[in-house]
Amino acid sequence: DELTEQMMDDLYDGLKEEIVEATQILLDRGWTPYDILTKALVAGMTIVGNDFRDGILFVPEVLLAANAMKGGMHLLKPLLVETGAPTIGKMVIGTVKGDIHDIGKNLVGMMMEGAGFEIVDLGINNAVEGYLEALAAENADILGMSALLTTTMPYMKTVIDTMKEQGIREDYIVLVGGAPLNEEFGKAIGADAYCRDAAVAVETAKTYMA
């Protein structure tokens, strides 16, 4: 599709207004919010990520791309969270300490809300104390943690170990996600499940709440 190709270029160039406009055009053409997210925005961000890794793009450019993506997501959010369904559970979610990546986490939050979950978003750079306070204060069912760096993902284990020490690990379902994680890592740190993407997070959470 010509427009989605253009969107990938615009995302790469960090052109927020163009991304917002194109997102609206795809909606007007009848695309589902989920297809726009995955086939245009996430696909475009994957290209940005590859060139970032290869030293072709640098932090300022990637920040602009992320900002452009958020513009599109902002438009899609009300559509993704629109739901008449009764609440099926409550999830506290946040990116772990030392990590400021939040696009994936935001996406997971939106899709979970759309599926009927109540979401308490703690934002980025969360220490164990913050997670545990929120879980108790919110009377949550699920803890969701996100990490995008190999240097921050071990912090998830710190959180889970602290839950075990305090005897509250079994009171919550713990779901983890983020690009550098995998199934094996999720098991090794004692999470209930690793979620590859937002759709899997929704399905996994539903299964545990059933």
User: Where does this chain bind ligand B1M (CB under 6 A)?
Assistant: 42, 45-46, 48-49, 52-53, 59, 62-63, 66, 93, 98-105, 107-108, 144, 146, 148-150, 175-180, 195, 197-198, 201
Q: Which is nearer to ligand B1M, 28 or 128 (CB)?
A: 128
Give me the least distance between CB of 142 and ligand B1M, in Å please.
8
Query: In Å, how far are 28, 108, 171, 198 from 104, measured between CA atoms?
Result: 25, 6, 25, 8
Residue 75 or 176 having the CB closest to ligand B1M? 176
Minimum Å gap between C-beta 96 and ligand B1M is 10
- Residue closer to ligand B1M by CB (options 49, 161) is 49
**Which uninterrupted H or E stretch holds 95?**
strand 89-95
Q: What is the DSSP letter of 26?
A: H
SS3 179: coil
3-state secondary structure of 78: helix
The residue (of 66 and 120) whose beta carbon lies closer to ligand B1M is 66
- Measured from the CB atom, the residue of 108 and 135 that comes closer to ligand B1M is 108
Element (H, E) at 46: helix 43-53
Can you spell out the DSSP letters for 106-123?
Answer: HHHHHHHHHTTEEEEE--
Beta strands per DSSP E along 74-199: 89-95, 117-121, 142-146, 173-177, 193-195
In the complex, minimum distance from the CB of residue 144 to ligand B1M, in angstroms, rounded to a whole number:
3
In the complex, least distance from residue 130 CB atom to ligand B1M, rounded to whole angstroms: 16
> What whole-number distance in Å separates Cα of residue 206 and Cα of residue 90?
11
Taking the complex as a whole, how short is the minimal distance between the CB of residue 171 and ligand B1M, in angstroms? 17
